[in-house]
Amino acid sequence: MRGLELLTAELEDEIAGGRPPETTRSLSVTDYATRWLEAKGATIRPTTLEEYARAAEWLCRYTGRTEARELRRWHVQSFSTWLEGQRRPDGRAYAESTIQTIFRAARTMLRDLAADLDIDDPTRRVTPPHSEVKSVRELETLSAEQLDRLLVAVDGLYPQWACAVRTLALTGMRLGEMRALRWQDVDTAKRMLHIARSASRGRIQATKTGDPRDAGIGDDLAARIDAHRLAVAAADMPVFGPALVFPSWQTHGTVSTNMIHDVLTNAAAAARVDQGVGPQVLRRTYVTLMGPLVGPLPLRDQVGHTTEAMTARYTRSTMDTRRAVGAIAEGLVTSARAASSAE
């Protein structure tokens, strides 16, 4: 695939040479999306690129064969309405935040398309999609009791993903790092996971910081990983060397982010955690719960933060800690009052 810059240069050469830009006449929305994502991949974070890729996939599923130059406002409005009618595999409607995030990313691509091909902006005055399922704010962190309920719910609802979710929750690793973990990186005898890669858009690449690290695990998680290895082998998937530790049970390739999000969403509902829970919540929870128990350097090494300031961004004090702070403040005032009365 060629980048968007090359496509633009070709169009300029054709126009300058007096030839009709044949590329633009045959360029479909899918063609443009492919080249747009390739160009974006060199300049934006993998997580943002993944969001754009998901939106492009949905847009191309609906109107991908349309010629890019023929795209009009009614196409985009129709796409917005179509998004409202989409359902999860279990039949539930998507939350408003989900479909609006998809729409916003698709709109960004379509505005670039209009500018690159010098056509009217097809997103102008298009009404964004809405859902009867209002957005659910993710918890900044879970309490230890909520986390335990969530993990028990995953054990019951999704036993095939229980080990993957516990690995996220009990190591603080990023979702992409869990998706890219290989059996050659696992040493349960030494209670250690070597985290050197991350998965994004189906590709395996370096971690977010570019630096590999070793994360420690406990006895229970080590035993669960050993049992998971047996289950993977029983499913006729490889369990040595570069083989993935947590592959998709259907495709045997990299597990999709949507699958893990759906597992956590449904488990959170079953565990009576009434706000959204995603992989990032598990990571923040890990940092918050472990912060008071270990020093800042071991915690940074475990989760792969490059600075103490980054770790601080992930840390949220628990309500018990905040109550203790309130009690200390009251104690200071009471002590001052007592000292003043004694004088």
What pLDDT, in 10s, does the model give residues 256-272? 888 999 999 999 999 99
> What's the structural domain count of the chain?
2
Residues 73 and 171 occupy one common structural domain: no
Residues 292 and 176 occupy one common structural domain: yes
What pLDDT is stored for residue 325 in this prediction? 47
Instruction: Measure the CA dihedral 163/165/171/177, to 10°.
Output: 100
Residues 164 and 82 occupy one common structural domain: no
What pLDDT is stored for residue 7 in this prediction? 44
What pLDDT is stored for residue 4 in this prediction? 43
Residue numbers of the domain that contains 89 = 4-117
Residues 101 and 168 occupy one common structural domain: no
Residues 170 and 291 occupy one common structural domain: yes
The rounded distance, in Å, linking the Cα atoms of 273 and 24 is 50
Residues 262 and 177 occupy one common structural domain: yes
What separation in angstroms does the CA of 24 have from each of 15, 20, 57, 113, 317? 11, 9, 21, 11, 55
What pLDDT is stored for residue 297 in this prediction? 57
Shortest CA distance to 48 belongs to which of 208, 155, 158?
208
The rounded distance, in Å, linking the Cα atoms of 281 and 286 is 9
What pLDDT is stored for residue 143 in this prediction? 86
Residue where one domain finishes, among candidates 117, 152, 168: 117
Would you state the structure tokens that stand for residue 61, as one six-digit string?
């599923």
Residues 100 and 196 occupy one common structural domain: no
What pLDDT is stored for residue 213 in this prediction? 85
What pLDDT is stored for residue 31 in this prediction? 94
- Each residue of 229-256: pLDDT tens digit? 999 999 999 999 999 999 999 999 999 8
What pLDDT is stored for residue 113 in this prediction? 95
Residues 302 and 164 occupy one common structural domain: yes
Residues 113 and 170 occupy one common structural domain: no
What pLDDT is stored for residue 289 in this prediction? 77
Residues 29 and 151 occupy one common structural domain: no
Residues whose CB is less than 8 angstroms from the CB of residue 67 and which lie 6 or more positions away in sequence, other chains included: 25, 26, 27, 28, 29
What pLDDT is stored for residue 280 in this prediction? 87
What pLDDT is stored for residue 80 in this prediction? 95
What pLDDT is stored for residue 12 in this prediction? 47
Burial of 78 (0-12, 13-18, 19+ CB in 10 A): middle
- For the domain that residue 162 is a member of, what is the CATH number? 1.10.443.10
What pLDDT is stored for residue 72 in this prediction? 94
The rounded distance, in Å, linking the Cα atoms of 284 and 317 is 11
What pLDDT is stored for residue 298 in this prediction? 61
Residues 158 and 260 occupy one common structural domain: yes
Residues 22 and 110 occupy one common structural domain: yes
- For the domain that residue 12 is a member of, what is the CATH number? 1.10.150
pTM as predicted: 0.55
Would you state the structure tokens that stand for residue 327, as one six-digit string?
């009690």
What pLDDT is stored for residue 123 in this prediction? 95
What pLDDT is stored for residue 10 in this prediction? 46
pLDDT tens digit at each of 343 positions of the chain: 344 444 445 444 444 444 444 444 579 999 999 999 999 888 877 768 888 998 999 999 999 899 999 999 999 999 999 999 998 877 888 888 889 999 999 999 999 999 999 999 999 999 999 888 765 555 578 888 998 999 999 999 999 999 999 999 888 888 999 999 999 999 999 988 898 888 876 678 777 667 788 888 888 999 999 999 999 999 999 999 999 999 999 999 999 888 999 999 999 999 998 778 999 888 888 887 777 676 555 666 666 545 555 444 445 545 454 455 456 555 655 565 566 666 6
- Each residue of 23-49: pLDDT tens digit? 445 799 999 999 999 998 888 777 688
